[in-house]
């Protein structure tokens, strides 16, 4: 029975705390703030009674009430901490200090201590809660109502009522109410709310729409794919809020330090109370100093050094379409020396197009395309789809094939009649001992120097021609690489493509180093090797094909993560959009937040180094210790908020 009650109480306590953490109302409605306000009024009343010459017992009684009210929130917290975790925290230090001041008859000091502490605490909790919920502002981007199509008629319904499978109409200028897939119509969408990219994206049938994005030019009919609570925007907000809970390493260290430090301060105060009087010193003087020490040595500012900066940075990044999944990743990003990019789909668009079809003598272009498309039509690879698309656009019928087999990172093969045909990288063809004419090899080398990917089509062990494809670099890639260089980072490209092709593209983008011809599992080894040589590596990829490489890096950054849970899962940082510039944004937010966190740590440690000796020497009193202490804490919080700007 008793146990059950305890558990119930604990649940209630946790729920209350959670409710507070999620606070997003105005400051004066925040519970602890109201409480501190009430305590201030009562304290003022006590002081008035004293000033107006009221009886001492009356002013003492009023002060006592003020102290009780002011201490309500935090004293309970301190007590719970002791009861459940046997921990002496800052609250315990403050409670003992207040008690000591009361015993010494320093009523005003005791009241001031409790009041300032609860006011600073309330302000800080409020700021922290607001920072953590700032990301919810994004939800306001989702319209309240939507146009649902039923039996050819349209009806206005609350956006919350939409279910997967519903058909909706989105007119130009309207926002998308929830995730959906376009069924009819074409338009340009401003997706900056989700991806942070300001350039509108053209969409047509089959393309995905995200909640909160703006339909700019044309009317769209779309089929809902996710209800309100589970759409991309809602999940993004949830992820950001979760991420803010993930502590950085510095924060964990501070927490551990605090657990040992606070009891030590309490012990030191006890020593001050006992030892000097035993040596014949004045009891009152040293009791007073013990009280001052409790306040002066409390590590409030230190404790607040990183959480606000971290939460503010993660929120800020989230609003730009960059999901940083916890303080630890901010810390890691700050340490990065190398940024490794996967080539296809990351630095390039990932939509290769056939540029050249070069048959061997005696073979026609049509025959070559028919053969290649016959193999590739079974494949999901972007190169394969480009080959099939080219055949289709030229009206070439793919040959009938059977027994398709994909060789990961190398090519594909199938059987035509009784002959084996394969379409593969030149490296793989060489491995198979394929005969390639010198003319064709020469041609291949020339195309590769232009940054084109060359694949060979071979039949019965002889190359019958080659197909060259080109994947356009993303326009934002070059400026992003330049910016990363300016930040002092090394930029590396990892790819399964041919070294010559890769080099040509790397040159175009200004990339320092290329690792080409890598099979997917070799990318992991390449990341490890870069890490050993230069230091921590951030690996940027699509998060689907290269999940192992992302996991192997100090920080895995998945690009194009909107609508792909796997990509978000795989990485420490998920970029909702396809913009390599977001990597720069993530790095900048991380560096700024870490710089601010360290400023706070240094500042609060220096402050302790000044306040503690002052307390011991009796240079400061209770009131000045309290003021110095709380002001420094608020400075740390205010500084932390700057991580959301810049």
Ligand X SMILES: Nc1ncnc2c1ncn2[C@@H]1O[C@H](COP(=O)(O)OP(=O)(O)OP(=O)(O)O)[C@@H](O)[C@H]1O
Nearer to ligand X, 132 or 381 (CB): 381
Query: Given the rule CB under 6 A, which of 66-74, 330-338, 379-387, 587-595 is the region that contacts ligand X?
Result: 379-387
Smallest distance from ligand X to CB 249, Å? 32
Query: Given the rule CB under 5 A, which of 43-51, 262-270, 438-446, 631-639 is the region that contacts Cu ion?
Result: 631-639
**Residue 581 contacts which entry, ligand X, Cu ion, none (Cβ below 5-8 A, type-dependent):** none
Nearer to ligand X, 381 or 490 (CB): 381
Nearer to Cu ion, 222 or 300 (CB): 300
What part of residues 533-562 is at the interface with ligand X (CB under 6 A)? none
- Structural contact between residues 308 and 500, judged by C-beta atoms closer than 8 angstroms: no
Smallest distance from Cu ion to CB 121, Å? 6
List the one residue from 177, 307, 409, 560 that touches ligand X (CB under 6 A): 409
Nearer to ligand X, 182 or 414 (CB): 414
Identify the three-state secondary structure at position 607.
helix
List the one residue from 159, 319, 633, 640 that touches Cu ion (CB under 5 A): 633
CA dist., res. 92 & res. 156, Å (int): 57
Smallest distance from ligand X to CB 643, Å? 34
Pairing of the two strands 145-150 and 153-158: antiparallel
- Structural contact between residues 558 and 550, judged by C-beta atoms closer than 8 angstroms: yes
The residues annotated as belonging to the active site are 342
Query: Given the rule CB under 6 A, which of 91-99, 189-197, 215-223, 381-389 is the region that contacts ligand X?
Result: 381-389
- Structural contact between residues 355 and 469, judged by C-beta atoms closer than 8 angstroms: yes
**Residue 342 contacts which entry, Cu ion, ligand X, none (Cβ below 5-8 A, type-dependent):** ligand X
Name 457's bridge partners.
Answer: 423, 465
Judge residue 200's burial from the number of C-beta atoms within 10 Å of its C-beta, 0-12 exposed, 13-18 middle, 19 or more buried. middle
CA distances (Å), origin 416, targets 36, 401, 411, 432: 83, 5, 16, 18
List the one residue from 119, 303, 412, 539 that touches ligand X (CB under 6 A): 412
Q: State both tokens at 7.
A: 């558990």
List the one residue from 62, 240, 336, 423 that touches ligand X (CB under 6 A): 423
Cα–Cα nearest to 476, from 198, 189, 216: 198
Query: Given the rule CB under 5 A, which of 17-25, 139-147, 448-456, 630-638 is the region that contacts Cu ion?
Result: 630-638
Smallest distance from ligand X to CB 420, Å? 15
Nearer to ligand X, 170 or 386 (CB): 386
Nearer to Cu ion, 301 or 399 (CB): 301
CA dist., res. 312 & res. 330, Å (int): 11
Smallest distance from Cu ion to CB 252, Å? 20
- Give me the helix-helix angle, 622-641 and 581-617, nearest 10°: 170
Angle among Cα 181, 183, 186 to the nearest 5 degrees reads 95
CA distances (Å), origin 598, targets 121, 156, 508: 21, 52, 38
Could you say whether residue 434 binds ligand X (CB under 6 A)? no
Residue count at the site for ligand X (CB under 6 A)? 20
List the one residue from 112, 384, 527, 626 that touches ligand X (CB under 6 A): 384
DSSP 302-314: HHTTTHHHHHHHH
Smallest distance from Cu ion to CB 627, Å? 11
List the one residue from 299, 496, 556, 577 that touches ligand X (CB under 6 A): 496
Could you say whether residue 411 binds ligand X (CB under 6 A)? yes
CA dist., res. 113 & res. 67, Å (int): 9
Nearer to ligand X, 340 or 601 (CB): 340
Smallest distance from Cu ion to CB 179, Å? 44
**Residue 59 contacts which entry, ligand X, Cu ion, none (Cβ below 5-8 A, type-dependent):** none
Identify the three-state secondary structure at position 252.
helix
- By rule CB under 5 A, what string of x and - marks binding of each residue 264-303 to Cu ion? ------------------------------------x---
CA dist., res. 446 & res. 450, Å (int): 7
Could you say whether residue 495 binds ligand X (CB under 6 A)? yes
Nearer to Cu ion, 241 or 633 (CB): 633
Which residue of the chain is nearest ligand X when measured via CB?
Answer: 496
Identify the three-state secondary structure at position 403.
strand
CA dist., res. 625 & res. 611, Å (int): 7
Nearer to ligand X, 496 or 581 (CB): 496
Displacement of CA 68 from its chain's centroid (Å): 41
What part of residues 323-352 is at the interface with ligand X (CB under 6 A)? 342-344
**Residue 300 contacts which entry, Cu ion, ligand X, none (Cβ below 5-8 A, type-dependent):** Cu ion
Displacement of CA 303 from its chain's centroid (Å): 22
Quickly count: other Cβ atoms within 10 Å of residue 461's Cβ. 13
Q: Which residue in this structure is represented by tokens 């690489």?
A: 481
| Sheet bearing 338-342, strands edge to edge | 322-324, 573-575, 555-558, 537-541, 338-342, 490-494, 513-515
**Residue 633 contacts which entry, Cu ion, ligand X, none (Cβ below 5-8 A, type-dependent):** Cu ion
Q: Phi, psi (5° rounding) for residue 348?
A: -110, 170
Pairing of the two strands 187-190 and 201-203: antiparallel
What part of residues 439-458 is at the interface with ligand X (CB under 6 A)? 453, 455
Smallest distance from ligand X to CB 538, Å? 17
Smallest distance from Cu ion to CB 90, Å? 6
Smallest distance from ligand X to CB 485, Å? 21
**Residue 410 contacts which entry, ligand X, Cu ion, none (Cβ below 5-8 A, type-dependent):** ligand X
Judge residue 446's burial from the number of C-beta atoms within 10 Å of its C-beta, 0-12 exposed, 13-18 middle, 19 or more buried. middle
Nearer to ligand X, 102 or 530 (CB): 530
* Tally of helices (H runs) and strands (E runs) in the chain: 23, 22
Cα–Cα nearest to 514, from 522, 525, 526, 506: 506
**Applying CB under 5 A, which residues contact Cu ion?**
300, 633
**Applying CB under 6 A, which residues contact ligand X?**
342-344, 376, 379, 381, 383-384, 409-412, 423-425, 453, 455, 495-497
């Amino acid at each position: 029975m008793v146990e059950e009650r305890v558990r119930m109480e604990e649940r209630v306590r946790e729920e209350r705390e959670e409710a507070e953490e999620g606070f997003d109302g105005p400051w004066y409605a925040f519970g602890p703030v109201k409480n501190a306000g009430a305590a201030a009024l009562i304290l003022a009343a006590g002081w008035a009674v004293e000033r107006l010459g009221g009886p001492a017992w009356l002013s003492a009684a009023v002060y006592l009430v003020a102290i009780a009210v002011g201490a309500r929130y935090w004293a309970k917290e301190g007590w719970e901490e002791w009861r459940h975790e046997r921990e002496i925290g800052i609250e315990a230090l403050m409670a003992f200090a207040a008690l000591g001041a009361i015993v010494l008859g320093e009523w005003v000091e005791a009241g001031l201590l409790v009041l300032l502490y609860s006011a600073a605490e309330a302000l800080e909790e409020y700021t922290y809660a607001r920072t953590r919920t700032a990301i919810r502002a994004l939800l306001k981007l989702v319209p309240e109502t939507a146009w649902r199509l039923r039996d050819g008629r349209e009806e206005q319904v609350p956006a919350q009522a939409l279910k997967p499978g519903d058909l909706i109409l989105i007119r130009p200028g309207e926002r998308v109410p929830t995730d959906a897939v376009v069924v009819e119509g074409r338009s340009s969408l401003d997706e900056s709310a989700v991806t942070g990219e300001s350039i509108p994206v053209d969409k047509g049938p089959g393309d995905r729409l995200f909640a909160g994005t703006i339909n700019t030019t044309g009317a769209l009919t779309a089929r809902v794919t996710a209800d309100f609570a589970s759409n991309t925007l809602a999940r993004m907000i949830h992820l950001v809020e979760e991420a803010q809970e993930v502590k950085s390493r510095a924060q964990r260290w501070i927490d551990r330090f605090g657990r040992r430090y606070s009891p030590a301060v309490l012990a030191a105060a006890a020593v001050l109370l006992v030892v000097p009087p035993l040596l014949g010193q004045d009891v009152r003087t040293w009791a007073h100093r013990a009280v001052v020490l409790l306040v002066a040595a409390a590590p409030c500012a230190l404790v607040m050094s990183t959480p606000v900066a971290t939460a503010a940075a993660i929120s800020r990044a989230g609003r730009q379409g960059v999901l940083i999944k916890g303080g630890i990743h901010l810390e890691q990003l700050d340490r990065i020396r190398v940024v490794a990019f996967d080539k296809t789909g990351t630095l390039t668009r990932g939509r290769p197009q056939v540029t050249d079809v070069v048959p061997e003598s005696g073979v026609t272009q049509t025959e070559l395309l028919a053969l290649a498309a016959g193999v590739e039509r079974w494949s999901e690879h972007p190169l394969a789809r480009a080959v099939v698309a080219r055949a289709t656009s030229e009206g070439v019928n793919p040959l009938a094939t059977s027994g398709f087999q994909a060789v990961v990172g190398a090519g594909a093969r199938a059987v035509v009649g009784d002959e084996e045909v394969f379409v593969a990288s030149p490296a793989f063809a060489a491995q198979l001992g394929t005969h390639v004419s010198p003319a064709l090899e020469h041609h291949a080398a020339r195309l590769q120097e232009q940054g084109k990917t060359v694949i060979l089509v071979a039949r019965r062990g002889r190359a019958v021609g080659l197909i060259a494809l080109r994947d356009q670099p993303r326009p934002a890639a070059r400026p992003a690489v330049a910016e990363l260089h300016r930040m002092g980072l090394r930029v590396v490209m990892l790819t399964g493509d041919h070294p010559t092709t890769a080099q040509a593209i790397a040159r175009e983008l200004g990339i320092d180093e290329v690792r080409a011809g890598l099979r997917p599992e070799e990318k992991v080894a390449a990341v490890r090797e870069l890490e050993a040589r230069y230091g921590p590596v951030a690996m940027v990829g699509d998060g689907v094909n290269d999940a192992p490489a992302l996991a192997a890096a100090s920080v895995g950054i998945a690009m194009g993560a909107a609508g792909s849970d796997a990509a978000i899962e795989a990485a420490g940082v998920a970029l909702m959009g396809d913009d390599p510039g977001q990597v720069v944004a993530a790095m900048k937010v991380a560096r700024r937040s870490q710089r601010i966190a360290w400023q706070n740590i240094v500042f609060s440690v220096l402050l302790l180094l000044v306040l503690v000796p002052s307390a011991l020497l009796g240079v400061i009193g209770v009131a000045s210790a309290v003021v110095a202490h709380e002001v420094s804490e608020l400075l740390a919080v205010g500084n932390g908020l700057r991580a959301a700007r810049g």
